């Protein structure tokens, strides 16, 4: 979830949606089940920092922001593993 200036304000996790559905809370609003203030990483940080943040936060994805804190992308655990695998093939 982003605000009108493309700044991250929340993250809608599949697990939270499933929790709402399993409790038959079909009227739940996105804002009620989203994770507020999701962890972000600046686009100029290195992969090691992304891994550290994912591990410390217990999540598999990070929202990537620019110097103005605006959303520019998402990096996932799978993205990082693919990059590492590609680098290992080059060695």
The 10s digit of each residue's pLDDT in 2-44 is 999 999 999 888 877 788 778 877 787 888 888 899 999 999 9
Q: What is the pLDDT of residues 46-67, one digit of tens each?
A: 999 999 999 998 889 999 999 9
| Predicted local distance difference test score (pLDDT) of residue 28 | 78
Domains of the chain: 10-90 (3.10.580.10)
Q: What is the CB-side half-sphere exposure of residue 77 using CA atoms within 13 A?
A: 8
Element (H, E) at 50: helix 47-57
Residue 71 has pLDDT above 90, yes or no: yes
Separation in Å, CA 49 to CA 1, 15, 56, 67, 68 = 23, 25, 10, 16, 19
* Mean pLDDT, residues 70-89 taken together: 92
| Predicted local distance difference test score (pLDDT) of residue 15 | 78
Question: Residue for token digits 């600046």?
Answer: 42
Residue 91 has pLDDT above 70, yes or no: no
């Amino acid at each position: 979830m982003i605000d009108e200036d493309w700044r991250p304000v929340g993250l809608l996790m599949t697990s939270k949606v499933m929790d709402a559905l399993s409790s038959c809370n079909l009227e739940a609003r996105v804002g009620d089940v989203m994770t507020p203030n999701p962890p972000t990483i600046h686009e100029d940080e290195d992969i090691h920092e992304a891994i550290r943040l994912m591990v410390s936060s217990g999540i598999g994805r990070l929202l990537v922001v620019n110097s103005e804190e605006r959303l520019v992308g998402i990096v996932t655990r799978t993205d990082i593993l693919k990059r590492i695998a590609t680098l290992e093939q080059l060695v």
